[in-house]
Amino acid sequence: MSLLRFAARTMLASFFVVNGVKAMRDPEPLVGATEPLARTVLPLAEKMLPPQAVAYLPEDAKGLVRLTGLAQVVGGLSLATGIGRRLGAGALAVSMVPHLLASNPFTGDSDAGGKEVFLRNLAITGGVLLAAQDTEGQPNLAWRAKNRAELLGREAEHTKATITREAAHAKASLAREGRRTARKAKRVAAKASKSIEGALK
């Protein structure tokens, strides 16, 4: 990892660590905006997740805000240290949903400051989405799998062509050997026939 990438990730991660700690300590500012999301997501998660996982789900919007804050702290540390950085960046992008809802600029009473906060949150979400796709110049797994499949396909075609050439060569060699054997047998037969005729005379 280059020094520039490390510095950029650390700067981006610091925002999430600070905001995550703040959300865990004082979730109230985000509870109102998160309430509709909690009413939709939590019942759906309870239906889809196994009973062991449901026990860890928050019970209300306040719990969801705190859980989001925890995800931001863990994801921020992951992004800064580089340990599971892409997964951590993806989790950070998801954790920004309550913040985007809280800074909703589409209400009639939103002021310019609220719109600026929303744009800031939107930009930061875009930043972590880019970080989630950053492979540090290395091909991702999908590209590697596709490239490997193409390589195997080319190798299979080359092997098939080689086998076809060798089979044709072997067939031609057998045909030549067969013709030589037939000519030799014909000469031997002719010589034997002459010998027999001479003996009869």
Question: Over the stretch 7-41, which tens digit does the pLDDT of each residue have?
Answer: 888 888 898 899 889 988 988 887 887 787 788 87
73 band by pLDDT with thresholds 50, 70 and 90: very high
Same-domain check for residues 50 and 124:
yes
Question: Within this chain, do residues 153 and 130 fall inside the same structural domain, yes or no?
Answer: no
Mean pLDDT calculated for residue range 71-84: 89
Higher per-residue confidence, 89 vs 108: 89
- 70 and 152, same structural domain? no
Burial 133-146 (b: 16+ CB within 10 A, else e): ebeeeeeeeeeeee
Same domain for 66 and 54, yes or no, is: yes
Q: Picking from 17-31, 41-55, 72-86, 151-165, which range would have the lowest pLDDT averaged per residue?
A: 41-55
User: What is residue 17's predicted lDDT score, i.e. its pLDDT?
Assistant: 92
Q: What is the pTM of this model?
A: 0.58
Residue 8 and residue 11: Cα distance in Å, rounded? 5
Average pLDDT of every residue of the chain = 81
Q: Are residues 117 and 172 in the same domain?
A: no
* Number of domains forming the structure of the chain: 2
pLDDT(111) > 60 = no
SS3 of residue 50 by DSSP: coil
In this structure, are residues 70 and 106 in contact, taking their beta carbons and an 8 Å threshold?
Answer: no
131 and 162, same domain (yes or no): no
Asked if 127 and 153 sit in the same domain, the reply is no
pLDDT exceeds cutoff 60 at 146? yes
Q: What is the DSSP string of 115-145?
A: HHHHHHHHHHHHHHHHHHH--TTS--HHHHH
Domain end marker among 92, 121, 138? 138
The answer on 150 and 118 residing in a single domain is no
List, in order, residues 6 or more apart from 30 with CB less than 8 Å away.
23, 65, 68, 98, 99, 102
Are 118 and 183 part of one and the same domain?
no
> Which of 27-36, 46-55, 84-93 has maximum average pLDDT?
84-93
When computed from its CA atoms, the radius of gyration of the chain, rounded to whole angstroms, is: 37
Q: Are 110 and 147 found together in one domain?
A: no
Range of the domain at 161: 142-201
The DSSP secondary-structure symbol of 10 reads H
Instruction: Tell me, yes or no, whether 90 and 15 share the same domain.
Output: yes
What is the distance between the alpha carbons of residues 38 and 97, in angstroms, rounded to a whole number? 11
What band does 98 get if pLDDT is binned at 50, 70 and 90? confident
Count of CB atoms within 10 A of residue 8's CB? 15
Q: What is the pLDDT of residue 74?
A: 92
